[in-house]
Amino acid sequence: MSEQRNDTKFINRQSFIELNARERAEILFDTGTSRELAGPFDRMESPWLAMQGVTPQADDGCVVMKGKISGQSTVVIALEGAFQGGSLGEVSGEKLTAALDLACADNEKGIRTNAVMLLETGGVRLQEANLGLASIAEIMASILVLRRHVPVICIIAGTVGCFGGMSLAAGLASYVVMTREARLGMNGPEVIEQTSGVEEFDSSDRALIWAIHGGEQRFAMGLADALVEDDAQQMVEAVQSFIAKGVPAVHRSSEIALYRSHIAALDASRQWDPKELRAIWKADVATEDTQ
Partner 1 sequence: MEKIEFDYPAQHKVLKRAHVGVVGSGDLEVLLEPLEGDRAHVSIQTSVDGFKDTWKAVLDRFFAKYDGAVRIEIHDAGATPGSVLLRLEQAVEVSQR
For residues 230 and 16, is the Cβ–Cβ distance under 8 A?
Answer: yes
Q: Segment near partner 1 (CB under 8 A), from 11-19, 37-45, 68-76, 270-278?
A: 37-45
For the bound state, the minimum distance from the C-beta of residue 186 to partner 1, rounded and expressed in Å, comes to 25
For the bound state, the minimum distance from the C-beta of residue 225 to partner 1, rounded and expressed in Å, comes to 29
Residue of 58, 105, 137, 244 interacting with partner 1 (CB under 8 A): 58
Quote the CA–CA distance of 168 and 196 in Å, as a whole number: 21
For the bound state, the minimum distance from the C-beta of residue 126 to partner 1, rounded and expressed in Å, comes to 16
Nearest to residue 118, comparing CAs of 22, 41, 253, 252?
22
Nearest to residue 177, comparing CAs of 232, 113, 239?
239
Residue 174, interface with partner 1 (CB under 8 A)? no
Residue of 5, 10, 82, 159 interacting with partner 1 (CB under 8 A): 82
Nearest to residue 209, comparing CAs of 171, 145, 242, 163?
163
Is 69 exposed, middle or buried (CB count within 10 Å of its CB: 0-12, 13-18, 19+)?
buried
Question: Quick one: 39 or 248, whose CB is closer to partner 1?
Answer: 39
Nearest to residue 243, comparing CAs of 55, 127, 115?
115
Q: Residue 98: how many CB atoms within 10 A of its CB? A: 16
Q: Segment near partner 1 (CB under 8 A), from 25-33, 54-62, 101-109, 269-277?
A: 54-62
Quote the CA–CA distance of 103 and 66 in Å, as a whole number: 10
Q: Segment near partner 1 (CB under 8 A), from 51-59, 109-117, 170-178, 260-268?
A: 51-59
The residue count for binding partner 1 (CB under 8 A) is 15
Q: Segment near partner 1 (CB under 8 A), from 66-74, 78-86, 138-146, 267-275?
A: 78-86
Nearest to residue 90, comparing CAs of 42, 43, 48, 140?
48
For the bound state, the minimum distance from the C-beta of residue 258 to partner 1, rounded and expressed in Å, comes to 40
Q: Segment near partner 1 (CB under 8 A), from 36-44, 122-130, 231-239, 278-286?
A: 36-44
Residue 130, interface with partner 1 (CB under 8 A)? no
For residues 28 and 70, is the Cβ–Cβ distance under 8 A?
Answer: no
Question: Quick one: 15 or 291, whose CB is closer to partner 1?
Answer: 15
Residue 244, interface with partner 1 (CB under 8 A)? no
Q: Residue 164: how many CB atoms within 10 A of its CB? A: 24
Residue of 50, 105, 250, 286 interacting with partner 1 (CB under 8 A): 50
Question: Quick one: 47 or 71, whose CB is closer to partner 1?
Answer: 47
Beta partners for residue 36, in sequence order: 65
Quote the CA–CA distance of 79 and 99 in Å, as a whole number: 13
Residue 32, interface with partner 1 (CB under 8 A)? no
Q: Which residues here bind partner 1, judged by CB under 8 A? A: 20, 39-41, 50, 53-58, 80, 82-84
